[in-house]
């Protein structure tokens, strides 16, 4: 069930039977010479939308499509929110959802660079309640799609070398499966990109000439993407169910 | 051309021939008993995506899907950003796009409640440059899709009575045309909703029992939506071209 | 009745019979070669003070004299608040007035560039209540003095050509009526200033060499200003009364 | 010379001969049973306006009329800015004035409760430059009107008992001299109000039943106010001249 | 009793018998050619720790060691918080302590440059309660260690000339007494440093070549430091007791 | 070398030979029935201070002693900064250190709950440079003391059961080694505390009755603490050296 394609009475009815909502969250940032700029928000969206097709009582919110990607700014097309802006925006999303009675807000994340700030945003929300000496009313959970049960293992098996950490063949495969018309090719070298730390955008560009980090995205195929999506859907449904069932002390 | 489905080298190449980008922006908020929660971000997205299909050199950014909708919070499913959060987020989008060399950032808007804050966000961005005594480097423009040439006149002709200002048959028609599988029906009364001012969410709910303002959304049909989209696409292409061509003094 | 020239027991007594207060709000910014820098806050102050002389039960707060005028910064004497600062300040004014029991806060505005940010400020205030699931306790209203009943029509009749949108003969006439000792003259050309968009301050100065937009301020006379004030006073009293009488659902 | 009653070319010309501007700053807050709510912004305005009448090359900006008066909020009519809002607003005033080339910004203050926050605002402005490793370009100075040469001594001589620290006979005398039509009387007891610390508004009201602190405002007369103003004008002119003459290392 | 060396049950027990806590607060900033960078946070820490050794029921929080020292940034080793950051941090400290039931939060300060911002921070905290129409629940007090009973008089007697206002022999003597292994010597000239105003860091460095203001720190001795500490401890204990005993109206 | 016990000329001289500084950072929060409230800032301080005793060219800044510990607020003595406050404060520390020419800022962390926000703070600092299209000038690194080479392995070997994740025997052992006079004992049950998620403070208290998470702190001994410190010192020196030697591309 897609929240955006529902009416308010439908969401009101849904809240009678479930208090859980899934928010796909990612980033719009360069993904090397062949990866789509939207890769990181498309992957969780693809998985979550697929999951709700199969499981009618999984409610999926609109996709939070811009995240913390300051280091990619020297590559055209990257759009990002500063951590403090990101914290404010996640906060308002959660305050809104909490106002309707959602008690479990599950963020399915597609960008490693988001993790720290999303966790900080949760703490900011909890701190508001802690200072007020009251219950927050909702719990937040962050899960990267590649951390869903079995997914990373499958990716490592599919891509034993050249997986890397940015513009990975696994994430690109997922977008290839979903958007076969948008498969891109390019020559790049070295075959496997370098690795290293992440700092400001000029530093990043100096380290990673075409934007990849440790990856060989040319290994991606739509078929492998489909396998990853199928496994991730299973993992998501199970993980959301466990989160929904978690008791509040 | 969709930015999110492009690679960074493709955007870099695009910037050689154009400095203009279109950002669909809207809101995710209740739209009465039959309107989709996503109506206000779907409409500009639908129109912009349709336009870029027909006009390859129109670049469309990802959709900014959450806006200023505090007054709708008493209806389930509404998600909003406070004005100060919204200003910060629009600011970071524009700073990002400006960093790549975009000189014209065109927001195609789908929510009347966004207008004031988006304009304030532009001023915040300009003020940053004004205090620094430097050029901003980019110009921003806001256009509501119903203000594109001829669109409002067509809507008034299609819906001479019961158009109203929220959950209007015209916006619902646009979503019906794009998502015929998500057409909803419901009984509601009175046929035409009341009108009045907009204040905090509890006040709004007390005034507008089912969320509509002045409208009779049952008048919407996918065909009328298609007519509106076709006209809006023409208007958008012309308006963006004029903006792109505007000289900088 | 002027709030600043009252004691707190007098305001406490006033609140027994009325919950409404008028706040003149404007800007301190360049107004072309002959207009006073204070024009935009003086006009609503002049009108509101005149109104309270004639109608003892109209309570007028101190004038909010600095607004959103970033685009005028390249002209000496302009002072402005960034939108986020302006929102914070309007917020604190309203929170203060609301704490005393004022339920209707009416801003009589003298600067077009303020409109978006003032409306955003209202939304910020309402959003605070909406997130908390409570009533705000007060309603805000913004009215430009030239939008009071009949005023703009009179100005258009007085100045059929050369009215323009900044440093207009109508606003300058109002200040001439109130401050005849501060009437300024200057040579300027062209007779009617150019028009165009508003962006950062350097862009503005490049477009509008002497600060005027579309206007010929030399048409102003104190007499015309007096006519405008007289009509505006009537309009203000009626509009405030209607706002005060508006029921809360 | 009043900035608000000048045109931008007049200010531009002024800047050729002086880089100094005086900003009257105060507060709009309860001043006991007989004091005007505007007392604290009227006093510096009265003194500064009187000074510029006598000394044509003293430039006086519009009055900053709302300050930090949170503790008075339980008394009707008080309007205040939180310290962080106040800092932001003072910052934007100074950034604006600095942009025009003012190098000395002199705040003539009328409210003791403003002092800490105004000084913090100056530090915020300086810190911006310090972090950037550049010169600020302007210096700020804060002076309470009663700290101008001889003024406090005169007040202590005029009111050897019952001067106190809030709703003092000296500040009320100044407003009586300027606005003789707004002189208020009331019975109050005890004759001299209690003294003590300043905390949140409910605490303040519990300590100071009618709003006075240590004062007997009934001692005020317009004549004494006139004496204070005359002396303050002299002190202001001399102090501003010294500030303007101070060399920059 | 040191809070940081206590367990939470010990603090819970302490709160049964006292609601008061002392927070040493200072700054880490240059202190001339011989003064320690930590001088301003060490002094209140030394005094407070000494006091709690002698008086078991004085509870001392961890030291707040970074303050408002923007003007010292051109000297290596200075670390500072902008006023708005400082206000936020003091706010969170006090909200935390207040949440546990502390009703008197006493800041023993070691840096003159902190005073305005700390006072502004208190007002920000009180304002939060004032806007909400509720009691704050705790009172804050700021005391400079040199303003404790008798301390400044002793310092003036110890150092009749060359005391000055920054890198003073008294504060350096206190650190010499506590950390005799860290006594530094250097040649400097002039013997007594110049005095003047405090502005941005580049201005400060241009005025005060070696960082001192009006002082001759070579006059410091550990013995004099010991005398100052002994007197300050007495003054602190008495002042905290008076604050703790102060009734709430 | 301790920054706080140095003079500014000493730090200026240090910067001629090294551009690296270590900042111990932690939290002041409950650590179960026997752990010190200061445990999390004491541990990195103990290790860093020990390291600089042995290695003279390791420069250690003052300890950042308050972190993100909102979840512990229901236990007396906890003091925390909200993530946004924490980000602002870390930012000002780093901007200050960067202004002096430090190019490597190494945070030795003692609190798991700090990690996300500290990383977000680094991103906020980098983003500032990325938006400005310039180099940041310094790199930041976060290292938890238990992640230094070999430390966690030793702790797991010392405490094969009952180590847990909060109020762990390893961190308590470190404080026991450093502060043997402050060793606390208490009865607690169960022997090993429960584990689970971290949310707002009331939720935390309901889950973890005495504040421990998964740990049996009674296993700590000063000797084991000494072993941990010795190993951590080695690890720290090596890790800082590697960071200092890292080339900038």
Is the confidence at residue D207, as pLDDT, over 90?
A: yes
Cβ contacts of F95 on chain D, cutoff 8 Å: 131
**Whether the Cβ atoms of residue B24 and residue B10 lie closer than 8 Å to each other:** no
CATH number at F117 reads: 3.40.50.10310
Of D89, D39, D13, D44, give the one whose Cα is nearest residue D215. Answer: D39
Residue B211 contacts A, CB cutoff 8 Å: yes
Q: How confident is the model at residue D56 (pLDDT cuts 50, 70, 90)?
A: confident
The whole-number pLDDT of residue B21 equals 98
> Which pair of structure tokens corresponds to residue D31?
């001043």
Mind listing the pLDDT tens digit for each residue in A27-50?
Answer: 999 999 999 999 999 999 999 999
The whole-number pLDDT of residue B56 equals 85
Mind listing the pLDDT tens digit for each residue in D4-40?
Answer: 999 999 999 999 999 999 999 999 999 999 999 999 9
Mind listing the pLDDT tens digit for each residue in D117-133?
Answer: 999 999 999 999 999 99
Cβ contacts of E249 on chain D, cutoff 8 Å: 203, 206-207
Q: CA angle F207-F210-F216, nearest 5°?
A: 100
Q: Would F118 be classed as within a structural domain?
A: yes
Residues 6 or more apart whose CB falls under 8 angstroms from that of C44 comprise C24, C25, C26, C63, C108, C109, C110, C145
Q: CA angle C106-C8-C22, nearest 5°?
A: 10
Mind listing the pLDDT tens digit for each residue in B175-214?
Answer: 999 999 999 999 999 999 999 999 999 999 999 999 999 9
Q: How far is B95 from chain F (nearest CA, A)?
A: 7
Cβ contacts of C130 on chain A, cutoff 8 Å: 99
Q: What is the per-residue DSSP string for chain C? A: -BGGGS-HHHHHHHHHH--EEEEEE--B--BTTTB-TTHHHHHHHHHHHHHHHH-TT--BPPPB-----GGGTTSTT-B---HHHHHHHHHHHHHHHHHTT--EEEEEE--GGGHHHHHHHHHHHHHHHHHHTS--S-EEEEEEGGGSTTHHHHHHHH-SSS--SBS-HHHHHHHHHH-GGG------SSSS-------SHHHHHHH-TTS-BS--GGG--HHHHHHHHHHHHHHHHHHHHHHHHPPP-
Residue D11 contacts C, CB cutoff 8 Å: yes
Domain count, chain D: 1
Mind listing the pLDDT tens digit for each residue in D61-111?
Answer: 999 999 999 999 999 999 999 999 999 999 999 999 999 999 999 999 999
User: What is the full per-residue pLDDT of chain F (249 aa) written as tens digits?
Assistant: 999 999 999 999 999 999 999 999 999 999 999 999 999 999 999 999 999 999 988 999 999 999 999 999 999 999 999 999 999 999 999 999 999 999 999 999 999 999 999 999 999 999 999 999 999 999 999 999 999 999 999 999 999 999 999 999 999 999 999 999 999 999 999 999 999 999 999 999 999 999 999 999 999 999 999 999 999 999 999 999 999 999 999
Please give the Cα distance from B45 to B55 (Å, whole number): 15
**Whether the Cβ atoms of residue E93 and residue F66 lie closer than 8 Å to each other:** yes
- Which chains, if any, share at least 3 CB pairs under 8 A with chain C? A, B, D, E
Please give the Cα distance from C45 to C41 (Å, whole number): 6
Enumerate the β-bridge partners of residue F64: F25
CB contact under 8 A, A95 and C131: yes
- Which chains, if any, share at least 3 CB pairs under 8 A with chain B? A, C, D, F
- Record the pTM: 0.98
Q: Would F249 be classed as within a structural domain?
A: no
Tell me which residues of chain B, numbers 124 to 143, contact chain D at a CB-CB cutoff of 8 Å: 130-131, 133
- Interface C:F, ≥3 CB–CB pairs < 8 Å: no
Q: Would C99 be classed as within a structural domain?
A: yes
Of B55, B114, B112, B36, give the one whose Cα is nearest residue B80. Answer: B114
Mean pLDDT value across chain A? 98
Residues 6 or more apart whose CB falls under 8 angstroms from that of A57 comprise A1, A14, A17, A18
Please give the Cα distance from E230 to C116 (Å, whole number): 61
Q: How far is C130 from chain A (nearest CA, A)?
A: 9
Cβ contacts of F243 on chain A, cutoff 8 Å: none
The whole-number pLDDT of residue A137 equals 98
Cβ contacts of C46 on chain D, cutoff 8 Å: none
The whole-number pLDDT of residue A189 equals 97
Q: Residue F1 has what DSSP assignment?
A: -
Mind listing the pLDDT tens digit for each residue in B160-177?
Answer: 999 999 999 999 999 999
CB contact under 8 A, F133 and B99: yes
CB contact under 8 A, A211 and B8: yes
Q: Give the mean model confidence (pLDDT) for residues C60-79.
A: 98
CB contact under 8 A, F4 and E42: yes
- Interface F:A, ≥3 CB–CB pairs < 8 Å: yes
Is the confidence metric ipTM above 0.90 for this complex? Answer: yes
Q: Give the mean model confidence (pLDDT) for residues C152-180.
A: 98
Tell me which residues of chain F, numbers 40 to 79, contact chain A at a CB-CB cutoff of 8 Å: 68, 70-71, 73-74
Q: How far is A131 from chain E (nearest CA, A)?
A: 7
E strands within E146-196?
A: none
Cβ contacts of B115 on chain C, cutoff 8 Å: 116
- Parent domain of D86: 3-244
Q: Would D77 be classed as within a structural domain?
A: yes
Q: Give the mean model confidence (pLDDT) for residues A82-105.
A: 98
- The tally of CA atoms less than 13 A away on the side-chain side of residue B32 is 31
Q: How far is B242 from chain C (nearest CA, A)?
A: 13
Of E84, A80, A70, B82, give the one whose Cα is nearest residue F85. Answer: E84
> Which pair of structure tokens corresponds to residue B8?
């960074």
Q: Give the mean model confidence (pLDDT) for residues A104-115.
A: 98
Nearest residue in F to B101, CA atom: F133
> Which pair of structure tokens corresponds to residue E52?
């709690």
Residue B120 contacts C, CB cutoff 8 Å: yes
Reported residue count of chain B is: 249
What is residue E68's three-state secondary structure?
Answer: coil
The whole-number pLDDT of residue F56 equals 85
Q: How confident is the model at residue B48 (pLDDT cuts 50, 70, 90)?
A: very high
Nearest residue in E to A129, CA atom: E99
Q: How far is B87 from chain A (nearest CA, A)?
A: 9
- Interface E:C, ≥3 CB–CB pairs < 8 Å: yes
Q: Would E249 be classed as within a structural domain?
A: no
Mean pLDDT value across chain B? 98
Q: Residue D50 has what DSSP assignment?
A: H
User: What is the full per-residue pLDDT of chain E (249 aa) written as tens digits?
Assistant: 999 999 999 999 999 999 999 999 999 999 999 999 999 999 999 999 999 999 988 999 999 999 999 999 999 999 999 999 999 999 999 999 999 999 999 999 999 999 999 999 999 999 999 999 999 999 999 999 999 999 999 999 999 999 999 999 999 999 999 999 999 999 999 999 999 999 999 999 999 999 999 999 999 999 999 999 999 999 999 999 999 999 999
**Whether the Cβ atoms of residue D93 and residue C89 lie closer than 8 Å to each other:** no
CB contact under 8 A, F65 and E61: no
CA F1 vs. chain centroid, Å, equals 18
Please give the Cα distance from C78 to C85 (Å, whole number): 16
- Which chains, if any, share at least 3 CB pairs under 8 A with chain A? B, C, E, F
Q: Would D249 be classed as within a structural domain?
A: no
Please give the Cα distance from F86 to F103 (Å, whole number): 21
- Which chains, if any, share at least 3 CB pairs under 8 A with chain F? A, B, D, E
Nearest residue in A to C133, CA atom: A99
**Whether the Cβ atoms of residue F164 and residue F215 lie closer than 8 Å to each other:** yes
The whole-number pLDDT of residue E31 equals 98
Cβ contacts of C95 on chain E, cutoff 8 Å: 131
The whole-number pLDDT of residue C56 equals 85
> Which pair of structure tokens corresponds to residue C137?
């306790």
CB contact under 8 A, B123 and C133: no
Q: How far is A96 from chain C (nearest CA, A)?
A: 7
CB contact under 8 A, A37 and B182: no
Q: How far from F181 is each of E34, F36, F39, CA to CA, in Å?
A: 34, 12, 14
Please give the Cα distance from C70 to A148 (Å, whole number): 49
Is the confidence at residue A56, as pLDDT, over 90?
A: no
- Interface D:F, ≥3 CB–CB pairs < 8 Å: yes
- Which chains, if any, share at least 3 CB pairs under 8 A with chain D? B, C, E, F
Q: Would C106 be classed as within a structural domain?
A: yes
Reported residue count of chain D is: 249
Mean pLDDT value across chain C? 98
Sort C183 into a burial class: Cβ within 10 Å, 0-12 / 13-18 / 19+: middle
Q: Would E73 be classed as within a structural domain?
A: yes
Interface test with A, best of C131, C133, C134 (most A CBs within 10 A): C131
Residue C84 contacts D, CB cutoff 8 Å: yes
Mind listing the pLDDT tens digit for each residue in C206-242?
Answer: 999 999 999 999 999 999 999 999 999 999 999 999 9
Nearest residue in A to B99, CA atom: A73
């Amino acid at each position: 069930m897609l929240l955006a394609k529902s009416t308010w009475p439908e969401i009101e009815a849904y809240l009678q039977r479930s208090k859980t909502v899934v928010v796909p969250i990612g980033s719009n940032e360069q993904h090397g010479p062949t990866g789509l700029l939207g890769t990181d928000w498309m992957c969780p969206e693809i998985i979550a939308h697929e999951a709700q097709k199969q499981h009618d009582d999984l409610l999926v919110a609109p996709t939070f499509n811009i995240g913390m990607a300051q280091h990619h700014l020297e590559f055209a097309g990257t759009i990002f929110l500063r951590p403090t802006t990101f914290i404010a925006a996640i906060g308002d999303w959660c305050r809104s959802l909490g106002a309707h009675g959602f008690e479990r807000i599950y963020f399915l994340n597609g960008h490693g660079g988001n993790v720290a700030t999303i966790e900080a945003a949760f703490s900011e929300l909890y701190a508001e309640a802690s200072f007020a000496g009251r219950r927050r009313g909702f719990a937040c959970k962050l899960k990267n799609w590649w951390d869903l049960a079995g997914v990373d293992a499958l990716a490592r098996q599919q891509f034993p070398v050249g997986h890397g950490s940015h513009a990975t063949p696994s994430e690109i495969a997922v977008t290839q499966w979903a958007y076969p018309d948008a498969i891109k090719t390019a020559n790049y070298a070295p075959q496997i990109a370098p690795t290293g730390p992440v700092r400001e955008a000029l530093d990043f560009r100096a380290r990673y000439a075409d934007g990849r980090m440790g990856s060989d995205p040319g290994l991606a195929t739509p078929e492998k993407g489909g396998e990853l999506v199928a496994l991730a859907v299973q993992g998501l449904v199970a993980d959301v169910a466990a989160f929904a069932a978690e008791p509040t002390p």
